[in-house]
Amino acid sequence: MEFTAELIAGFLQGEIVGDPKTIVNTLAKIEEGKPGALAFLANPKYEHYIYTTQASIVIVNHTFTPTAPVAATLIRVEDAYSCFAKLLELYVANKPQKEGISPKASIHDSVSLGENVYVGDYAVLEQGVKVGNNCKIYPQVYLGDHVTLGDNVTLYPGVKIYEMCSLGSHIIIHAGSVIGADGFGFAPNEKGEFSKIPQIGNVRIEDEVEIGANTCIDRATMGSTVIHRGVKLDNLIQIAHNVSIGENTVAASQVGVAGSSKVGANCMFGGQVGIAGHLQIGDGVKLASKTGVSNNIGDGLTYMGYPALPGMKFHRSNAIFRNLPELSNRVHQLEKELEALKSTLNNEGETH
């Protein structure tokens, strides 16, 4: 599909600097722009690319002032990043959509399918599954007994959802993720072995959630593990049994949340954050990458490091930690001087 600068500016309510008839037919990063491509500049550290890019149109912030000639047609907007995201959404919406029910899928007679549903090859939908409208179930997806999907749910290849789990609407789950596997529940017995504790709960995922590839969310021992509305989880994340993740919380790759911990709304977790079990994490909490949390954290706080410390305290402690070798040498030197002083004082005492 082809779009003119004039059409794009109208859609984004932007201002054109250059030729309004410039045509683009693809999207590109500004450093990889080619003729016919649309790019954007939002981060000032990439500004030098705008003077060399071959992209035909570049979306920029209203505040951008070039310091050299720019060959591309510019479209000035309030927020270049969010405007480019809107265009990406438009681009994806206009791509050919998957449709139809594959004859190679295994669908139980009791399954309820909504309108405009796609089911790919070798997908398995077990007894009592309910699928809403406009859902896309890609090849080799497994939906266990009585799983329910709302409207506009996309399950990419190889997603596995165990029995009784419930998903809302406008949800995306990427390839290889497992929803509703047993929680890690074992109890020691009189033989010194570990007996499995049956996990009879489920996972409940609310609307507008996106879950990355190969992420695992365990079913509750009893009740539900809950992922609340608007949560965004990256790839390779582990959410344990009976955990609750609050609305609009985002977590980067390799985050792990242990059993029965409750995470508040609007939190932001960097990669490899670890949260111990049975903790309360307040609303608006920010955890830097690799933070290890072993105690409750109140609302709106930023923590870093392991064990987790408030941001400013962590930076002060880290400054000391970096100087530990020098501090250790100074202590050893002071100890030697102190011993020498004590020896001198003792000798003087003996002579009197």
Query: Which residues participate in catalysis according to the annotation?
Result: 241
- Contact 241/218 with Cβ under 8 angstroms? yes
- CB-facing half-sphere around the CA of 214: CA atoms within 13 A: 6
Q: Radius of gyration over alpha carbons of the chain, in Å? A: 29
- Contact 173/165 with Cβ under 8 angstroms? no
DSSP characters over 174-203? -TT-EEEEPP--EEE-TTS-EEEPP---EE
Cα-flanking dihedrals φ and ψ of residue 148, to 5°?
-120, 135
Nearest to 9 by CA among 58, 66, 42: 58
Residue 134: count of CB within 10 angstroms of its CB: 18
DSSP β-ladder status, 124-125 and 142-143: parallel
Structure-block tokens of residue 258: 């242990």
- Contact 130/112 with Cβ under 8 angstroms? yes
CA dihedral of residues 154, 157, 162, 163 (deg, nearest 10): 60
- Give dist(CA 246, CA 227) in Å, integer: 7
Map tokens 């649309």 to a residue. 38
- Give dist(CA 72, CA 57) in Å, integer: 5
- Burial, 145: exposed, middle or buried (Cβ in 10 Å; 0-12, 13-18, 19+)? middle
Cα-flanking dihedrals φ and ψ of residue 312, to 5°?
-65, -40
